[in-house]
Structure 1
Amino acid sequence: MRWLFGNDWNWIAAGAVSAALLLGLSILTHFPFLVSLVIAALVFAGLVFVLAPRQLFEGLDLGSIGGGQVAFARELLAQAQPAADKLAAAASSIADKDMKAKVKNLSDIAADVISRVEAKPASAPSVRRFLTYYVPQAAEVAEGYATLANRRAPSQVRLSKVGAVITKLQDAFVHYADSLADSELGTLDVDLRLIQESLKEDIGR
Protein backbone atom coordinates (compact mmCIF):
# COMPACT_ATOMS: atom_id res chain seq x y z
CA MET A 1 0.00 0.00 0.00
CA ARG A 2 3.04 2.27 -0.02
CA TRP A 3 2.00 3.84 -3.35
CA LEU A 4 -1.22 5.08 -1.77
CA PHE A 5 0.54 7.19 0.84
CA GLY A 6 3.39 9.04 -0.80
CA ASN A 7 6.84 8.28 -2.08
CA ASP A 8 9.72 6.33 -0.53
CA TRP A 9 11.03 9.24 1.52
CA ASN A 10 8.12 9.51 3.93
CA TRP A 11 8.37 5.77 4.63
CA ILE A 12 12.15 5.95 5.14
CA ALA A 13 11.86 8.94 7.48
CA ALA A 14 9.02 7.34 9.43
CA GLY A 15 11.00 4.11 9.75
CA ALA A 16 14.12 5.89 10.98
CA VAL A 17 12.23 7.89 13.61
CA SER A 18 10.27 4.83 14.77
CA ALA A 19 13.44 2.70 15.03
CA ALA A 20 15.16 5.38 17.07
CA LEU A 21 12.10 5.69 19.30
CA LEU A 22 11.94 1.92 19.79
CA LEU A 23 15.59 1.78 20.85
CA GLY A 24 15.21 4.80 23.09
CA LEU A 25 12.15 3.46 24.88
CA SER A 26 13.36 -0.12 25.30
CA ILE A 27 17.00 0.60 26.17
CA LEU A 28 17.25 4.06 27.68
CA THR A 29 13.94 4.22 29.55
CA HIS A 30 13.60 0.44 30.10
CA PHE A 31 10.04 0.29 28.75
CA PRO A 32 8.81 -3.28 28.14
CA PHE A 33 9.81 -4.23 24.61
CA LEU A 34 6.27 -5.05 23.46
CA VAL A 35 4.96 -1.70 24.75
CA SER A 36 7.83 0.11 23.01
CA LEU A 37 7.12 -1.81 19.82
CA VAL A 38 3.44 -0.82 19.84
CA ILE A 39 4.28 2.85 20.46
CA ALA A 40 6.91 2.83 17.70
CA ALA A 41 4.43 1.19 15.29
CA LEU A 42 1.80 3.85 16.01
CA VAL A 43 4.33 6.63 15.52
CA PHE A 44 5.46 5.02 12.25
CA ALA A 45 1.89 4.83 10.91
CA GLY A 46 1.21 8.45 11.88
CA LEU A 47 4.40 9.77 10.30
CA VAL A 48 3.75 7.92 7.03
CA PHE A 49 0.53 9.91 6.64
CA VAL A 50 1.88 13.21 8.00
CA LEU A 51 4.98 13.17 5.79
CA ALA A 52 3.21 11.94 2.66
CA PRO A 53 3.60 14.43 -0.22
CA ARG A 54 0.59 16.59 -0.93
CA GLN A 55 -1.53 15.27 -3.82
CA LEU A 56 -2.78 17.34 -6.75
CA PHE A 57 -6.22 18.92 -6.26
CA GLU A 58 -6.20 17.94 -2.60
CA GLY A 59 -9.13 19.59 -0.85
CA LEU A 60 -11.08 20.32 -4.03
CA ASP A 61 -14.59 18.99 -4.51
CA LEU A 62 -13.79 17.10 -7.69
CA GLY A 63 -17.39 15.95 -7.99
CA SER A 64 -18.45 19.50 -8.84
CA ILE A 65 -15.81 19.86 -11.55
CA GLY A 66 -15.90 18.21 -14.96
CA GLY A 67 -13.78 15.07 -15.11
CA GLY A 68 -12.30 16.16 -18.44
CA GLN A 69 -11.19 19.49 -16.98
CA VAL A 70 -9.48 17.80 -14.04
CA ALA A 71 -7.78 15.21 -16.26
CA PHE A 72 -6.49 17.90 -18.64
CA ALA A 73 -5.22 20.08 -15.80
CA ARG A 74 -3.62 17.08 -14.10
CA GLU A 75 -1.76 16.18 -17.30
CA LEU A 76 -0.44 19.72 -17.73
CA LEU A 77 0.63 20.06 -14.10
CA ALA A 78 2.34 16.67 -14.16
CA GLN A 79 4.54 18.01 -16.96
CA ALA A 80 5.07 21.45 -15.49
CA GLN A 81 5.81 20.66 -11.83
CA PRO A 82 9.15 18.85 -12.36
CA ALA A 83 10.30 21.69 -14.63
CA ALA A 84 9.20 24.26 -12.04
CA ASP A 85 11.21 22.39 -9.40
CA LYS A 86 14.28 22.46 -11.66
CA LEU A 87 13.77 26.18 -12.20
CA ALA A 88 13.71 26.79 -8.44
CA ALA A 89 16.82 24.65 -7.97
CA ALA A 90 18.63 26.54 -10.75
CA ALA A 91 17.83 29.87 -9.09
CA SER A 92 19.41 28.73 -5.84
CA SER A 93 22.58 27.61 -7.62
CA ILE A 94 23.26 30.88 -9.48
CA ALA A 95 25.78 33.16 -7.74
CA ASP A 96 25.16 36.36 -9.74
CA LYS A 97 22.61 38.32 -7.68
CA ASP A 98 20.85 39.96 -10.62
CA MET A 99 20.46 36.75 -12.58
CA LYS A 100 19.50 34.81 -9.45
CA ALA A 101 16.71 37.33 -8.85
CA LYS A 102 15.45 36.98 -12.43
CA VAL A 103 15.38 33.19 -12.33
CA LYS A 104 13.80 33.28 -8.86
CA ASN A 105 11.09 35.54 -10.30
CA LEU A 106 10.45 33.03 -13.09
CA SER A 107 10.25 30.28 -10.50
CA ASP A 108 7.81 32.25 -8.34
CA ILE A 109 5.54 33.00 -11.32
CA ALA A 110 5.58 29.34 -12.40
CA ALA A 111 4.68 28.21 -8.88
CA ASP A 112 1.88 30.79 -8.70
CA VAL A 113 0.37 29.76 -12.04
CA ILE A 114 0.56 26.07 -11.11
CA SER A 115 -1.19 26.67 -7.79
CA ARG A 116 -3.91 28.74 -9.47
CA VAL A 117 -4.54 26.09 -12.12
CA GLU A 118 -4.73 23.47 -9.40
CA ALA A 119 -7.28 25.60 -7.54
CA LYS A 120 -9.27 26.18 -10.73
CA PRO A 121 -8.72 23.37 -13.28
CA ALA A 122 -10.99 25.08 -15.82
CA SER A 123 -8.31 27.76 -16.30
CA ALA A 124 -5.74 25.23 -17.57
CA PRO A 125 -6.36 25.76 -21.33
CA SER A 126 -5.44 29.46 -21.09
CA VAL A 127 -1.92 28.60 -19.87
CA ARG A 128 -1.34 25.34 -21.70
CA ARG A 129 1.59 26.66 -23.74
CA PHE A 130 3.09 28.27 -20.66
CA LEU A 131 3.03 25.02 -18.68
CA THR A 132 4.13 22.67 -21.47
CA TYR A 133 6.67 24.87 -23.24
CA TYR A 134 7.82 27.99 -21.43
CA VAL A 135 8.33 26.50 -17.97
CA PRO A 136 10.38 23.49 -19.19
CA GLN A 137 12.38 25.68 -21.58
CA ALA A 138 13.03 28.26 -18.87
CA ALA A 139 14.28 25.49 -16.58
CA GLU A 140 16.70 24.23 -19.23
CA VAL A 141 17.99 27.73 -19.96
CA ALA A 142 18.43 28.53 -16.26
CA GLU A 143 20.26 25.26 -15.67
CA GLY A 144 22.45 26.03 -18.67
CA TYR A 145 23.30 29.46 -17.27
CA ALA A 146 24.20 27.96 -13.89
CA THR A 147 26.44 25.36 -15.57
CA LEU A 148 28.19 27.97 -17.70
CA ALA A 149 28.67 30.35 -14.77
CA ASN A 150 30.22 27.61 -12.62
CA ARG A 151 33.04 26.94 -15.10
CA ARG A 152 36.52 28.05 -14.12
CA ALA A 153 36.69 30.34 -17.16
CA PRO A 154 33.09 30.91 -18.31
CA SER A 155 32.48 32.49 -21.69
CA GLN A 156 31.09 35.94 -21.03
CA VAL A 157 29.62 36.04 -24.53
CA ARG A 158 27.62 32.85 -23.96
CA LEU A 159 26.59 33.98 -20.50
CA SER A 160 25.37 37.24 -21.98
CA LYS A 161 23.32 35.45 -24.64
CA VAL A 162 21.73 33.08 -22.15
CA GLY A 163 21.11 35.94 -19.75
CA ALA A 164 19.35 37.91 -22.48
CA VAL A 165 16.98 34.99 -23.10
CA ILE A 166 16.23 34.74 -19.38
CA THR A 167 15.45 38.45 -19.33
CA LYS A 168 13.04 38.06 -22.28
CA LEU A 169 11.38 35.11 -20.59
CA GLN A 170 10.30 37.50 -17.83
CA ASP A 171 7.89 39.14 -20.28
CA ALA A 172 6.42 35.81 -21.42
CA PHE A 173 5.92 34.62 -17.85
CA VAL A 174 4.23 37.87 -16.83
CA HIS A 175 2.05 37.76 -19.95
CA TYR A 176 0.72 34.28 -19.15
CA ALA A 177 0.27 35.04 -15.45
CA ASP A 178 -1.75 38.13 -16.36
CA SER A 179 -3.78 36.23 -18.98
CA LEU A 180 -4.66 33.69 -16.31
CA ALA A 181 -5.75 36.50 -14.00
CA ASP A 182 -7.85 37.96 -16.82
CA SER A 183 -9.56 34.61 -17.41
CA GLU A 184 -10.35 34.37 -13.69
CA LEU A 185 -12.11 37.74 -13.84
CA GLY A 186 -14.70 36.06 -16.04
CA THR A 187 -17.72 38.28 -16.51
CA LEU A 188 -16.46 41.18 -14.41
CA ASP A 189 -16.74 43.72 -17.24
CA VAL A 190 -20.28 42.60 -18.04
CA ASP A 191 -21.22 42.71 -14.36
CA LEU A 192 -19.83 46.24 -14.02
CA ARG A 193 -21.79 47.42 -17.07
CA LEU A 194 -25.02 45.92 -15.76
CA ILE A 195 -24.49 47.49 -12.35
CA GLN A 196 -23.82 50.89 -13.92
CA GLU A 197 -27.00 50.62 -16.00
CA SER A 198 -29.01 49.63 -12.93
CA LEU A 199 -27.59 52.51 -10.93
CA LYS A 200 -28.42 54.91 -13.72
CA GLU A 201 -32.04 53.67 -13.79
CA ASP A 202 -32.46 53.68 -10.01
CA ILE A 203 -30.62 56.81 -8.89
CA GLY A 204 -30.04 58.62 -12.16
CA ARG A 205 -26.29 58.24 -12.24
Structure 2
Amino acid sequence: MSKIIEIKKKPAAPWYIAGAVWVVGALALPIYELWALGLVAAASVAALAAAFKLCPPVIEKKEVPWFTGREDADEMLSHIDADRKRLRALDERIPDDALSAAIRRMEAACDGILTQLEKDPDKAPQVRRFTNHYLPDAVKILTLYADMEETGVSGENAEEVRRQVEANAAVIATAFENQLDSLYSAAALDLDADLEVLKGMLKGQGLVE
Protein backbone atom coordinates (compact mmCIF):
# COMPACT_ATOMS: atom_id res chain seq x y z
CA MET A 1 0.00 0.00 0.00
CA SER A 2 1.10 3.58 -0.52
CA LYS A 3 3.26 5.23 2.11
CA ILE A 4 4.61 8.69 2.81
CA ILE A 5 8.40 8.71 3.04
CA GLU A 6 10.73 11.52 4.01
CA ILE A 7 13.63 12.38 1.73
CA LYS A 8 16.47 14.43 3.20
CA LYS A 9 18.26 16.79 0.85
CA LYS A 10 21.19 19.07 1.46
CA PRO A 11 20.13 22.72 1.81
CA ALA A 12 21.02 25.20 -0.93
CA ALA A 13 21.84 28.05 1.48
CA PRO A 14 25.46 26.96 2.18
CA TRP A 15 26.31 27.23 -1.50
CA TYR A 16 24.93 30.77 -1.63
CA ILE A 17 26.99 31.66 1.44
CA ALA A 18 30.14 30.24 -0.15
CA GLY A 19 29.38 32.24 -3.29
CA ALA A 20 28.90 35.38 -1.23
CA VAL A 21 32.37 34.88 0.29
CA TRP A 22 33.83 34.92 -3.21
CA VAL A 23 31.95 38.12 -4.05
CA VAL A 24 33.13 39.88 -0.89
CA GLY A 25 36.66 38.59 -1.38
CA ALA A 26 36.73 39.83 -4.97
CA LEU A 27 35.66 43.29 -3.81
CA ALA A 28 38.01 43.48 -0.82
CA LEU A 29 41.13 41.69 -2.05
CA PRO A 30 43.19 41.55 -5.24
CA ILE A 31 42.20 37.98 -6.10
CA TYR A 32 44.23 38.20 -9.29
CA GLU A 33 47.17 37.64 -6.95
CA LEU A 34 47.81 34.06 -5.85
CA TRP A 35 47.87 34.72 -2.10
CA ALA A 36 44.52 36.52 -2.21
CA LEU A 37 42.97 33.85 -4.40
CA GLY A 38 44.08 31.14 -1.97
CA LEU A 39 42.79 33.10 1.00
CA VAL A 40 39.35 33.61 -0.53
CA ALA A 41 39.16 29.96 -1.60
CA ALA A 42 40.02 28.79 1.91
CA ALA A 43 37.48 31.17 3.44
CA SER A 44 34.82 29.96 1.00
CA VAL A 45 35.46 26.29 1.87
CA ALA A 46 35.36 27.08 5.59
CA ALA A 47 32.13 29.03 5.20
CA LEU A 48 30.59 26.19 3.20
CA ALA A 49 31.50 23.59 5.84
CA ALA A 50 30.22 25.76 8.68
CA ALA A 51 26.98 26.52 6.85
CA PHE A 52 26.26 22.83 6.25
CA LYS A 53 26.66 22.21 9.97
CA LEU A 54 24.37 25.08 10.92
CA CYS A 55 21.70 24.72 8.22
CA PRO A 56 19.32 21.79 8.74
CA PRO A 57 18.67 19.45 5.82
CA VAL A 58 15.61 20.04 3.68
CA ILE A 59 13.02 17.31 4.28
CA GLU A 60 10.62 16.53 1.46
CA LYS A 61 7.66 14.21 1.85
CA LYS A 62 6.84 11.92 -1.06
CA GLU A 63 4.09 9.37 -1.52
CA VAL A 64 5.24 6.07 -2.99
CA PRO A 65 2.98 3.13 -3.91
CA TRP A 66 5.16 0.62 -2.03
CA PHE A 67 8.14 1.04 0.28
CA THR A 68 9.86 -1.92 1.90
CA GLY A 69 13.41 -0.60 1.91
CA ARG A 70 14.35 -3.01 -0.86
CA GLU A 71 14.15 -1.50 -4.34
CA ASP A 72 13.61 -4.71 -6.33
CA ALA A 73 10.80 -5.78 -3.98
CA ASP A 74 9.11 -2.38 -4.31
CA GLU A 75 9.27 -2.64 -8.10
CA MET A 76 7.79 -6.14 -8.04
CA LEU A 77 5.02 -5.03 -5.70
CA SER A 78 4.09 -2.24 -8.10
CA HIS A 79 4.02 -4.61 -11.10
CA ILE A 80 1.99 -7.28 -9.29
CA ASP A 81 -0.47 -4.69 -8.01
CA ALA A 82 -0.94 -3.23 -11.50
CA ASP A 83 -1.58 -6.65 -13.04
CA ARG A 84 -3.90 -7.57 -10.16
CA LYS A 85 -6.01 -4.53 -11.03
CA ARG A 86 -6.01 -5.62 -14.68
CA LEU A 87 -7.29 -9.03 -13.62
CA ARG A 88 -10.11 -7.36 -11.71
CA ALA A 89 -11.06 -5.36 -14.80
CA LEU A 90 -10.94 -8.50 -16.95
CA ASP A 91 -13.25 -10.29 -14.52
CA GLU A 92 -15.81 -7.56 -15.15
CA ARG A 93 -15.38 -7.82 -18.93
CA ILE A 94 -15.62 -11.62 -19.23
CA PRO A 95 -19.14 -13.05 -18.84
CA ASP A 96 -18.17 -16.73 -18.52
CA ASP A 97 -18.85 -17.78 -14.91
CA ALA A 98 -16.20 -20.51 -14.71
CA LEU A 99 -13.56 -18.25 -16.23
CA SER A 100 -14.51 -15.40 -13.89
CA ALA A 101 -14.16 -17.74 -10.93
CA ALA A 102 -10.64 -18.68 -12.06
CA ILE A 103 -9.73 -15.01 -12.52
CA ARG A 104 -10.94 -14.22 -9.00
CA ARG A 105 -8.71 -17.02 -7.69
CA MET A 106 -5.76 -15.48 -9.55
CA GLU A 107 -6.58 -12.08 -8.09
CA ALA A 108 -6.84 -13.52 -4.57
CA ALA A 109 -3.45 -15.22 -5.01
CA CYS A 110 -1.98 -11.88 -6.10
CA ASP A 111 -3.42 -10.24 -2.98
CA GLY A 112 -1.72 -12.85 -0.82
CA ILE A 113 1.58 -12.51 -2.66
CA LEU A 114 1.47 -8.73 -2.22
CA THR A 115 0.90 -9.16 1.51
CA GLN A 116 3.72 -11.67 1.93
CA LEU A 117 6.21 -9.76 -0.20
CA GLU A 118 5.51 -6.49 1.60
CA LYS A 119 5.94 -8.26 4.94
CA ASP A 120 9.17 -10.01 3.87
CA PRO A 121 10.81 -8.24 0.89
CA ASP A 122 13.73 -10.70 0.99
CA LYS A 123 11.39 -13.16 -0.73
CA ALA A 124 11.54 -11.05 -3.90
CA PRO A 125 13.75 -13.56 -5.79
CA GLN A 126 11.08 -16.24 -5.26
CA VAL A 127 8.47 -14.26 -7.19
CA ARG A 128 10.66 -12.67 -9.87
CA ARG A 129 9.68 -15.10 -12.63
CA PHE A 130 6.04 -14.96 -11.58
CA THR A 131 6.11 -11.15 -11.67
CA ASN A 132 8.01 -10.74 -14.93
CA HIS A 133 6.54 -13.59 -16.97
CA TYR A 134 3.69 -15.73 -15.69
CA LEU A 135 1.41 -13.01 -14.31
CA PRO A 136 1.70 -10.60 -17.26
CA ASP A 137 1.38 -13.52 -19.69
CA ALA A 138 -1.84 -14.59 -17.99
CA VAL A 139 -3.16 -11.04 -18.23
CA LYS A 140 -2.21 -10.95 -21.91
CA ILE A 141 -4.02 -14.15 -22.85
CA LEU A 142 -7.11 -13.20 -20.81
CA THR A 143 -7.15 -9.76 -22.43
CA LEU A 144 -7.07 -11.44 -25.84
CA TYR A 145 -10.04 -13.58 -24.80
CA ALA A 146 -11.98 -10.56 -23.52
CA ASP A 147 -11.28 -8.60 -26.71
CA MET A 148 -12.53 -11.47 -28.86
CA GLU A 149 -15.69 -11.82 -26.78
CA GLU A 150 -16.46 -8.11 -27.03
CA THR A 151 -15.80 -7.86 -30.77
CA GLY A 152 -17.49 -11.16 -31.61
CA VAL A 153 -14.50 -12.54 -33.50
CA SER A 154 -15.24 -15.96 -34.96
CA GLY A 155 -13.32 -18.57 -36.89
CA GLU A 156 -11.31 -21.68 -36.20
CA ASN A 157 -8.35 -19.90 -34.59
CA ALA A 158 -10.57 -17.75 -32.39
CA GLU A 159 -12.52 -20.76 -31.21
CA GLU A 160 -9.30 -22.58 -30.40
CA VAL A 161 -8.12 -19.65 -28.28
CA ARG A 162 -11.44 -19.60 -26.42
CA ARG A 163 -11.31 -23.34 -25.84
CA GLN A 164 -7.73 -23.26 -24.56
CA VAL A 165 -8.35 -20.35 -22.21
CA GLU A 166 -11.55 -21.80 -20.79
CA ALA A 167 -10.00 -25.26 -20.38
CA ASN A 168 -6.81 -24.08 -18.68
CA ALA A 169 -7.78 -21.01 -16.65
CA ALA A 170 -8.33 -23.10 -13.52
CA VAL A 171 -4.89 -24.72 -13.97
CA ILE A 172 -3.29 -21.28 -14.19
CA ALA A 173 -5.18 -20.16 -11.07
CA THR A 174 -3.88 -23.22 -9.21
CA ALA A 175 -0.34 -22.36 -10.29
CA PHE A 176 -0.80 -18.84 -8.91
CA GLU A 177 -2.01 -20.31 -5.62
CA ASN A 178 1.02 -22.59 -5.55
CA GLN A 179 3.23 -19.54 -5.97
CA LEU A 180 1.57 -17.98 -2.94
CA ASP A 181 1.90 -21.23 -1.00
CA SER A 182 5.62 -21.34 -1.78
CA LEU A 183 6.12 -18.06 0.08
CA TYR A 184 4.99 -19.75 3.29
CA SER A 185 7.57 -22.51 2.99
CA ALA A 186 11.32 -22.41 3.47
CA ALA A 187 11.98 -23.51 -0.10
CA ALA A 188 10.18 -22.15 -3.14
CA LEU A 189 8.18 -24.61 -5.20
CA ASP A 190 9.15 -25.24 -8.78
CA LEU A 191 6.24 -23.75 -10.72
CA ASP A 192 7.59 -24.40 -14.20
CA ALA A 193 5.59 -27.58 -14.67
CA ASP A 194 2.36 -26.03 -13.38
CA LEU A 195 2.66 -23.01 -15.65
CA GLU A 196 3.96 -24.79 -18.74
CA VAL A 197 0.40 -24.91 -20.04
CA LEU A 198 0.24 -21.10 -20.03
CA LYS A 199 3.52 -20.86 -21.91
CA GLY A 200 2.29 -23.38 -24.46
CA MET A 201 -0.93 -21.45 -25.01
CA LEU A 202 0.93 -18.20 -25.59
CA LYS A 203 3.39 -19.83 -27.98
CA GLY A 204 0.59 -21.52 -29.87
CA GLN A 205 -1.05 -18.17 -30.54
CA GLY A 206 2.22 -16.47 -31.45
CA LEU A 207 2.06 -14.15 -28.43
CA VAL A 208 5.51 -15.11 -27.13
CA GLU A 209 8.59 -16.61 -28.73
- Normalising to structure 2: TM-score of the pair? 0.52
**Root-mean-square deviation (Å):** 2.8
Deviation at 1:121, TM superposition (A): 0.7
The answer on 1:183 being equivalent to 2:186 is: yes
Q: How does 1:137-176 map to 2 (within 5 A)?
A: 137-152=137-152, 154=154, 155-176=158-179
Query: Alignment length, in residue pairs?
Result: 126
On the 8 A contact 2:65/2:78 being kept in 1, the answer is no
Secondary structure (helix, strand or coil) at the match of 2:185 reads: helix
Secondary structure (helix, strand or coil) at the match of 2:110 reads: helix
Q: How does 1:117-156 map to 2 (within 5 A)?
A: 117-152=117-152, 154=154, 155-156=158-159
Deviation at 1:113, TM superposition (A): 0.4
Secondary structure (helix, strand or coil) at the match of 1:150 reads: helix
| Residues in 1 aligned to 2:92 and 2:174: alpha-carbon distance in whole angstroms | 21
Q: Which runs of 5+ in 1 are unaligned?
A: 6-51, 185-205
Q: Which of these two proteins has the greater Rg computed from alpha carbons?
A: 2
After the TM superposition, which of the residue ranges 90-99 and 156-165 deviates more from structure 2?
156-165
Which structure: greater strand fraction?
Answer: 2
Deviation at 1:153, TM superposition (A): 5.3
Q: Which runs of 5+ in 2 are unaligned?
A: 6-61, 188-209
Deviation at 1:53, TM superposition (A): 7.5
| Residues in 1 aligned to 2:74 and 2:144: alpha-carbon distance in whole angstroms | 28
Deviation at 1:82, TM superposition (A): 1.6
On the 8 A contact 2:94/2:149 being kept in 1, the answer is yes
Q: Calculate percent identity across the aligned residue pairs.
A: 24
Which structure: greater helix fraction?
Answer: 1
Give the AA of the match of 1:139.
V
After the TM superposition, which of the residue ranges 148-157 and 76-85 deviates more from structure 2?
148-157
Deviation at 1:158, TM superposition (A): 2.4
Runs (4+) of structure 1 exceeding 4 A deviation are: none
The answer on 1:55 being equivalent to 2:65 is: yes
| Residues in 2 aligned to 1:102 and 1:55: alpha-carbon distance in whole angstroms | 27
| Residues in 2 aligned to 1:146 and 1:53: alpha-carbon distance in whole angstroms | 34
